[in-house]
Structure 1
């Protein structure tokens, strides 16, 4: 980064996180050390206005937001997410990100990437993606016509799943039933995209089209997700977490949420 005289740096930033591809890493926190260096598009030396500069909070905030978005299996994916978030700031021209695991070996195991801004940079808008969540009853998911959803996340209720004695086993069975309902809905709608992660959901919304949510991966990776696997509860949780604009309940009872909610009967399937 020697061609840019002004740089913003963050070093030895250590955060505990649940990350890793191995089963032994799941459900346990391990220390991650971050190093970030941002080459600035222009000098920040003029004036003393904090709103006109790239704040250090952008660096630490990008790390926190990337970790909070979903559980990651790979450091490479986490580093890419952090870089994309930082490069969404207009002051950032290029960013170097190093992420290291400190508890997996006697030394530090990690990855380092350098990414540049501009057309080739991964685009990630700073604001929420917008859109709404459409919760569909079983009958609505099987109906001949559905509303023109636009930028929306679709979540279909599932048929009753087999019963298990163990609560955690039952939770996973219920999540798998919702995943099956998602894939059936997507196939019936002509191969619509199915999203399992928040990144995929946000991408689908920003593309302006509906995307079907298969919830098991995201729910199992987020400790704050509802323990009771019910489509209305998951709908409210996801819509609030993503900052969606409203929830549309089609042919089913609306969920309890702080967001605006509309209910439509099945005979109003053609409504906007």
Structure 2
């Protein structure tokens, strides 16, 4: 089958087939809900108000395999009820106009389960004609920001700042960071590749790890400019440091390698990794050197150091 015909086939394939075709290298289990039908009042058109219509749900959830023996214990798995409850709870939350909105919210509820890694949600209207009208979405835990919170439950939205090598060596670095700290938000500092290129090998996956380690070394170079800045590499450390009000220097290897939808293909691009981290942390802003190129479509507002100075 050609790539174009294969893509067309997958566009209409059941979510279970789509999940299998787009699976990552790491092992995952799948649970599914097929042809689950509910009567719902939904729709943006006036003719759809005050009436119910049938919706059909097909959902596949990729979950982390259980490391310890299951012992036939239901508490050690993600229950199928989690899927049906996500649907019923979202429908009970209030009327929506769009299938897209409903699918998005159902996926969010499913991905709140700690075992859930990726959710495929298909919803179809059955009563709009002699056909089905529907929407398919795929959402991952990586696309759902996990936000650090204070002890009283308040969400903390940090500022993430990327420094190029010229800025790391600049005598004004500490003052520049102090200006960012003055904003009053938690601060995460990121760097890219060092001036001296790391060793080059002929194996792509190995090279990516070497590049990540080179960025980590550069993070320690940055942290050496101020002993109060804390180098961190795990999500637990980041959340703790944010709650403690520490200024953080991010060492990327662990988070990048452990991520469900890892940005490993951008291992040598420090700015792209900083953007990924900002989205993961639901940052209030990403501050970049003027002229730094980023991919379009960021979910985080991007500022420049020039704007900060102004």
TM-score of the two chains, using structure 2 as the length reference: 0.48
> How far off its partner does 1:61 sit?
3.2
Aligned counterpart for 1:133 among listed residues 143, 154, 160: 160
1:157 matched to which residue of 2? 192
In 1, the alpha carbon distance for the partners of 2:110 and 2:152 equals 15
Shift of the 65–242 alpha-carbon distance from structure 1 to 2, 3 Å rule, reads farther
In 2, the alpha carbon distance for the partners of 1:205 and 1:131 equals 8
CA offsets, 1:166-192, max 9 Å, x none? 100110010000110111111222252
Write the mapping of 1:237-248 to structure 2, written as runs, cut at 5 A.
237-248=276-287
Counterpart contact for 1:154–1:210, Cα < 8 Å: yes
Counterpart contact for 1:136–1:251, Cα < 8 Å: no
Shift of the 262–189 alpha-carbon distance from structure 1 to 2, 3 Å rule, reads same
Structure 2 counterpart SS, 1:255: coil
Aligned counterpart for 2:172 among listed residues 124, 142, 145: 145
Q: Which runs of 5+ in 2 are unaligned?
A: 1-24, 29-64, 77-91, 94-107, 119-139, 143-147
> How far off its partner does 1:145 sit?
2.1
Alignment coverage as a number of residue pairs: 176
Indicate the structure (1 or 2) with the bigger Cα radius of gyration.
2
In 2, the alpha carbon distance for the partners of 1:235 and 1:212 equals 11
Counterpart contact for 2:110–2:116, Cα < 8 Å: no
Aligned counterpart for 1:253 among listed residues 273, 283, 292: 292
> How far off its partner does 1:205 sit?
2.0
Structure 2 counterpart SS, 1:155: strand
Confirm or deny that 1:221 pairs with 2:221: no
Counterpart contact for 2:229–2:246, Cα < 8 Å: no
Structure 2 counterpart SS, 1:63: coil
> How far off its partner does 1:271 sit?
3.6
In 1, the alpha carbon distance for the partners of 2:152 and 2:165 equals 34
Confirm or deny that 1:195 pairs with 2:232: yes
Aligned counterpart for 1:185 among listed residues 222, 225, 232: 222
1:171 matched to which residue of 2? 208
2:112 matched to which residue of 1? 61
**Larger helix fraction of residues:** 2
Counterpart contact for 2:233–2:251, Cα < 8 Å: yes
Write the mapping of 1:41-80 to structure 2, written as runs, cut at 5 A.
61=112, 63-64=114-115
> How far off its partner does 1:27 sit?
4.0
In 2, the alpha carbon distance for the partners of 1:208 and 1:254 equals 30
> How far off its partner does 1:193 sit?
0.9
> How far off its partner does 1:232 sit?
1.3
Counterpart contact for 1:161–1:173, Cα < 8 Å: yes
TM-score of the two chains, using structure 1 as the length reference: 0.54
> How far off its partner does 1:129 sit?
2.3
Shift of the 124–165 alpha-carbon distance from structure 1 to 2, 3 Å rule, reads farther
Structure 2 counterpart SS, 1:31: coil
> How far off its partner does 1:58 sit?
9.3
